[in-house]
């Protein structure tokens, strides 16, 4: 087996490539999707077990831990994250990593965010064992906007759980892989097919374009909304329902009751999914608070009006992506939709109007990424012989190098890879080593005021210009 894992913000999916195709594995509850929730008590529970106990154990449960790996200053608007996860957060450690303070085996215990994510990888191992697999090597998906720090945190979480992550694969690349590899008969070696993809998941929305040939593909352009997904719709509905519940029962503010919020959010998610296929849907909860029931029917028009601001953001993303990519509508072959949010009728209508193509639903909205990762896992495994399919990905951030000679007051910074550069690529640079020199590598974080974030640093000693041999620090400089 070759294993691919879609490590989404709200759930994880495990796929395996084997002789005859790609299969999605079920967990112990016979579900193909496993909730990304880690709970602590007398023992650690993950997935469906953590979800079923979260109403009683909300202070020791971490929902969607992948969202807490960020080191950014604005932290993905972490206040929004705590609308879902009520575990106590201790101060960040020296590496700017979130630390959760929970009660584990009767004792207050601190867990770093990557240690909590390691719980999700332990669940992946358990799912593989349930399906009689001993494979511990896998390809894991991450959002394309993940920084080096976040990617390294995912790799270390895998190590903590005892799994070997062969490669981290961008979600957009995994989708293109899944599209191209199973359509080889329909594709050409000479004329590429330009396909648009709209991926609206639980916590983010991505729009990207790719040129796809029979044996290769290239990501052309991509833009993301880091904090707009289906849960934003749910939060707007939650705030409306809490207000109505309080008004109907002449109550004080109960917005901070975790049990009420969790029950409402679960019911709202089901209501929203029903609303995508029907003109109206109901939310019906018995004994929501103090034996008081809550019932509300929402029509699709009310849903769209309630979420008008979010819908406008998605519309702006679609328009900006079309403009900045410089693609013409006539060049597009089709537009594939992925993710639960793309099922929303108003979103599909906007896609058709802006991109000039009816939405295509040939990819599985939930499982496309995991399938692409499983295919890539088979390609990098020595145990499989898979038809070659080369995908040129693009750099989401500009990569810069800083050079500072000993005695200089200022560091010279140059761009070595522009944002959007295809990779893997190699750039050669010549550095004068008559003096000791400090070389540092950065990426430019466009989501954090173009802040330069250090990737690596190296001090190079001076060397003899004739022999190329490094000189001791006491030797006079050339």
Per-residue pLDDT 10s for the chain (478 aa) are: 899 999 998 999 999 998 878 999 999 999 999 999 999 999 999 999 999 998 888 889 998 889 888 765 444 456 666 666 777 776 555 556 788 889 999 999 999 889 999 999 999 999 999 998 888 889 999 999 888 888 989 999 999 999 999 999 999 999 999 999 988 889 999 999 999 999 999 989 999 999 999 999 999 999 999 889 999 999 999 999 999 988 888 876 666 678 888 889 999 999 999 999 999 999 999 988 888 889 999 999 999 999 999 999 999 999 999 999 999 999 999 999 999 888 899 999 999 999 999 999 999 999 999 999 999 999 988 888 888 888 887 788 888 999 988 878 888 898 888 887 876 678 888 877 778 888 998 888 776 666 788 888 888 887 765 555 555 544 333 3
Q: What is the CA radius of gyration of the chain?
A: 25
**H or E stretch including 438?**
strand 437-445
Q: In terms of C-beta density within 10 A (0-12 exposed, 13-18 middle, 19 or more buried), how is residue 169 classed?
A: buried
User: In the prediction, which pLDDT does 474 show?
Assistant: 40
**3 state SS of 203:** coil
**3 state SS of 23:** strand
Helical residues (DSSP H) of 285-367, grouped into ranges: 300-306, 308-325, 345-355
- B/e letters for 400-430, b = 16+ CB within 10 Å, e = fewer, are bbbbbbeeeeeeeeeeebeeebeeeeeeeee
CA-CA distances (angstroms) from residue 218 to 166, 209, 224?
22, 9, 18
User: In the prediction, which pLDDT does 405 show?
Assistant: 86
User: In the prediction, which pLDDT does 470 show?
Assistant: 54
Contact 470, 461 (CB under 8 A): yes
User: In the prediction, which pLDDT does 473 show?
Assistant: 46
Report how far residue 397's alpha carbon sits from residue 133's, in angstroms, rounded to the nearest whole number.
37
Contact 135, 430 (CB under 8 A): no
User: In the prediction, which pLDDT does 157 show?
Assistant: 94
Report how far residue 109's alpha carbon sits from residue 41's, in angstroms, rounded to the nearest whole number.
11
Kindly state the tokens that stand for 135: 């494979």
Q: Is 216 left (phi over 0), alpha (psi -120 to 50) or beta?
A: beta
User: In the prediction, which pLDDT does 431 show?
Assistant: 79
Report how far residue 233's alpha carbon sits from residue 310's, in angstroms, rounded to the nearest whole number.
8
**H or E stretch including 460?**
strand 451-460
User: In the prediction, which pLDDT does 76 show?
Assistant: 47
Q: What phi, psi does 400 have (nearest 5°)?
A: -125, 155
User: In the prediction, which pLDDT does 222 show?
Assistant: 93
């Amino acid at each position: 087996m070759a294993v691919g894992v879609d490590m989404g913000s709200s759930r994880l999916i495990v796929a395996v490539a084997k002789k005859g195709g790609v299969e999605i594995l079920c967990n112990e509850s016979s579900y193909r999707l496993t909730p990304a929730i880690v709970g602590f008590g007398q023992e650690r529970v993950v997935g469906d077990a953590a979800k079923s106990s979260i109403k009683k154990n909300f202070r020791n449960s971490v929902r969607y831990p992948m969202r807490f790996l960020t080191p950014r200053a604005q932290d993905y608007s972490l206040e929004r994250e705590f609308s879902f996860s009520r575990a106590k957060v201790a101060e960040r450690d020296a590496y700017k990593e979130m630390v959760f303070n929970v009660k584990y085996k009767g004792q207050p215990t601190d867990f770093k965010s990557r240690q909590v994510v390691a719980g999700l990888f332990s669940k992946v191992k358990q799912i593989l064992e349930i399906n009689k697999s001993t494979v511990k090597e896998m390809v894991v998906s991450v959002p394309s906007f993940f920084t080096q720090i976040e990617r390294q945190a995912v790799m270390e979480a895998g190590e903590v759980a005892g799994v070997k992550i062969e490669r981290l694969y961008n979600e957009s690349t995994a989708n293109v892989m899944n599209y191209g590899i199973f359509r080889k008969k329909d594709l050409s070696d000479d004329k590429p097919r330009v396909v648009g993809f709209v991926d609206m998941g639980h916590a983010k929305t991505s729009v990207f374009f790719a040129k796809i040939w029979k044996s290769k593909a290239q990501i052309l352009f991509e833009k993301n909304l880091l904090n707009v997904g289906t849960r934003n719709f749910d939060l707007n509905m939650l705030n409306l329902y809490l207000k109505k519940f309080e008004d109907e029962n002449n109550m004080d503010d109960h917005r901070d009751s975790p049990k009420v919020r969790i029950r409402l959010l679960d019911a709202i998610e089901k209501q929203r999914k029903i609303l995508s296929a029907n003109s109206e849907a109901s939310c019906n909860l018995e004994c929501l608070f103090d034996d008081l029931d809550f019932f509300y029917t929402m029509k699709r028009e009310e849903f769209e009006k309630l979420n008008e601001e979010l819908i406008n953001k998605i519309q702006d993303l679609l328009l900006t992506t079309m403009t900045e990519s410089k693609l013409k509508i006539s060049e597009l072959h089709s537009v594939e939709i992925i993710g639960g949010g793309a099922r929303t009728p108003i979103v599909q209508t906007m896609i058709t109007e802006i991109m000039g193509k009816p939405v295509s639903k040939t990819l599985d909205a939930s499982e496309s990424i995991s399938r692409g990762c499983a295919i890539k896992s088979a390609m990098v495994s020595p145990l499989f012989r898979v038809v070659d399919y080369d995908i040129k990905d693009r750099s989401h951030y500009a990569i810069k190098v800083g050079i500072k000679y000993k005695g200089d007051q200022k560091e010279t910074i140059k761009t070595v890879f522009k944002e959007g550069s295809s990779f893997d690529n190699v750039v050669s640079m010549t550095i004068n080593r008559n003096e000791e020199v400090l070389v540092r590598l950065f990426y430019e974080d466009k989501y954090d005021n173009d802040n330069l974030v250090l990737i690596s640093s190296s001090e190079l000693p001076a060397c003899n210009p004739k022999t190329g041999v490094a000189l001791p620090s006491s030797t006079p400089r050339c």
